[in-house]
Amino acid sequence: MQLWLYRLLLTLLFPLILYSGWKRCRKAQSKSQQNSDEVPIPHCFASRLGRNPTYFQKGGIWIHAVSVGETRSIFPLLKQLHLRYPQLPITLTSGSTQGAQQALRFSPVAIQHQMIPYDTRSAVNRFLNQIQPKLVIMIETEIWPNLYQACSERKIPLILANARIKQQSFKAYQKWGGQLVKRALNQTHLIASQFQADTDHLLALGADPKRIKQLGNLKFDIEIPANLTQNAQAWRMDNGLEDRFIWVAASTHADEEVLMVKAHEKLLHHCANALLILAPRHSDRFQEVAELLEQKTDLLSAIRSQQMPVTANTQVYLADTIGELMHWFACSDVAFIGGSLVPFGGHNILEPAALAKPILSGPYHMNLQALYDTFKQTDSITITQNTDELAETLIKLSQSNELQQQQGQKAYQCFQQQTGALSKLLSEIDQLSLTDPNHL
């Protein structure tokens, strides 16, 4: 596909894109009014058109992360950039309202924030005029031809950081992207890929080998809060959970919570005091999952947002809050990572690995295949094919603290061997001399 054809198709589809964006922003606004845990996203829809009336400081660093996982993965990067370049404003854009919530509520440093403009020439150029960045950093698989073209024309260095091209995206780019994707990739200053598979995909798509450096995965450079373990131990003690087997099902999707509950019911036959902490991926499904648990009259559940206590009889605890997932990992003995027992494609397994927790997953992890392969090669993750296998694995772990420690240490050692991507990326950024007054 050529750039002119991409622009034509974008123009034809733009009414549908606008309507979809308007609906999402309206839904986010409604949620912020109904839920005190949600914050309003200023000028959500207007910013998609590059018409945000907010005053933004110019001449800084613009970073874009599309959704929840990507946003949380760059918090250490934000902190380091702020330490290195305190005089430069940091602008963070989001591609989803869920990602925006993470940015607005939990960013470790002061940021200028808005939703990313749609990839039209007018919207992109309005935003670039508004912030006039010295550097643009796109996270993971964010390849936007008009944006890349505009940065190239303005001679703004653009880094595609933590770059990954999953197999499904690779096939789509090969089939439909052609010269369009090749041109965009070669308008970057640097492509910092995660794994060899990502590097191979980028090269196959036409990226100049000189632009690619395989720096690793930023998500491995997790900062563990100093008081995390202490707070987790206190939570267990305060709720009388010191001697109970606790497993967390994290980032679960539609239809997956039912499978988690079934596995837990099987576990309870062998470990009567086991506790399941259920943490759905998306906040707009919290109520749906709460209703599911209400229907399970044979299970006693408690809900975090309602400040319901965990008693000796509580069997399922619904963690229906945002930003506490690391806490629940720390509180648990075993972590199951959702989006993997239903055909979504898996989620980040690194947070429990950093905490030396045994990691369980379903068979659907194609979205993070290279990452999962790293753990599978060292037997640092257990893949369960169905609910029965999940239950059997949980039963074995509940019966052996030694097995828990062995599996947790394997995950931690694999995690430790992959760290260092952040320092490598910062070294590349430092070479741009962003504080040089003659930089642009």
Q: List C-alpha distances in Å: 163 to 119, 166, 223, 295, 436.
A: 19, 10, 21, 43, 27
| 316-318 vs 246-252, strand pairing mode | unpaired
Q: What is the CA radius of gyration of the chain?
A: 22
Euclidean distance between CA atoms 187 and 114, whole angstroms: 24
Q: What count of other Cβ atoms lies within 10 Å of the Cβ of residue 328?
A: 24
Cβ neighbours of residue 310 closer than 8 Å, sequence gap 6 or more: 239, 240, 241, 275, 302, 317
Is residue 70 part of the annotated active site? The answer reads yes
Euclidean distance between CA atoms 406 and 33, whole angstroms: 46
Sheet of 275-280, strands arranged across = 301-303, 316-318, 275-280, 246-252, 334-337, 359-361, 382-383
What are phi and psi for residue 48, nearest 5 degrees? -65, -20
Which of 38, 70, 142, 351 is flagged as catalytic?
70
Q: 238-243 — which CB contacts under 8 Å span 24+ positions?
A: 239/309, 239/310, 239/311, 240/310, 240/311, 240/312, 241/275, 241/310, 241/331, 243/273
Which residues participate in catalysis according to the annotation?
70
